[in-house]
Amino acid sequence: MKKIKSLDDLRKMKRELEHGMNIREKSNSPESLVQIRVAMATCGIAAGARTVMNALIEKIEKEKVPAVVTQGGCMGYCYAEPTIEVKIPGKDPVVFGNVDEKVAAEIVDKYIKNGELIDGIIPTNYQTINEKK
């Protein structure tokens, strides 16, 4: 174990270590963050959802985007896997289909950062049992 010899050492160390705790810190305030949910059912994983999820996590960490990536189950859009659902606080969730690493980066840069919509949105034309009157 290395010794902390100065106050700057401690601060440097904190910056390096923070990264590993990000997932936990973010879970403390999920409502203020953009929530990205990657569908990780068998069909999603087969179509490459895992690579997409890794790419998203890496990009978000690197660019310090205020977002949290979680995984969800099958949404039924097997024809368009991998799919991701993005929920910006205060807005309705949007589902993107056929997402690969490139599209994922585009979603972060355009939709999450600037609010621009991009191609590949799947219209959500269903009701959940909670919404059904």
Nearer to another protein, 57 or 122 (CB): 57
State in angstroms the smallest separation of the CB of 21 from another protein. Answer: 4
- Tokens representing 114? 């600037």
As beta bridge partners, residue 121 has 96
List contacts with another protein (CB under 8 A).
1-7, 9-11, 13-14, 17-18, 20-21, 23-27, 30-31, 38-42, 45, 53-54, 57-58, 68-73
State in angstroms the smallest separation of the CB of 116 from another protein. Answer: 26
Contact by Cβ (8 Å): 101, 90? no
Nearer to another protein, 18 or 116 (CB): 18
Contact by Cβ (8 Å): 98, 122? no
Nearer to another protein, 75 or 103 (CB): 75
State in angstroms the smallest separation of the CB of 117 from another protein. Answer: 25
Q: What is 77-98 written as a DSSP string?
A: -GGG-S-EEEE-TTS--EEE-S
Nearer to another protein, 38 or 116 (CB): 38
State in angstroms the smallest separation of the CB of 88 from another protein. Answer: 16
State in angstroms the smallest separation of the CB of 1 from another protein. Answer: 4
The rounded distance, in Å, linking the Cα atoms of 57 and 99 is: 14
What is the β-pairing status of strands 34-39 and 94-96?
Answer: unpaired
Nearer to another protein, 17 or 114 (CB): 17
Contact by Cβ (8 Å): 55, 48? no
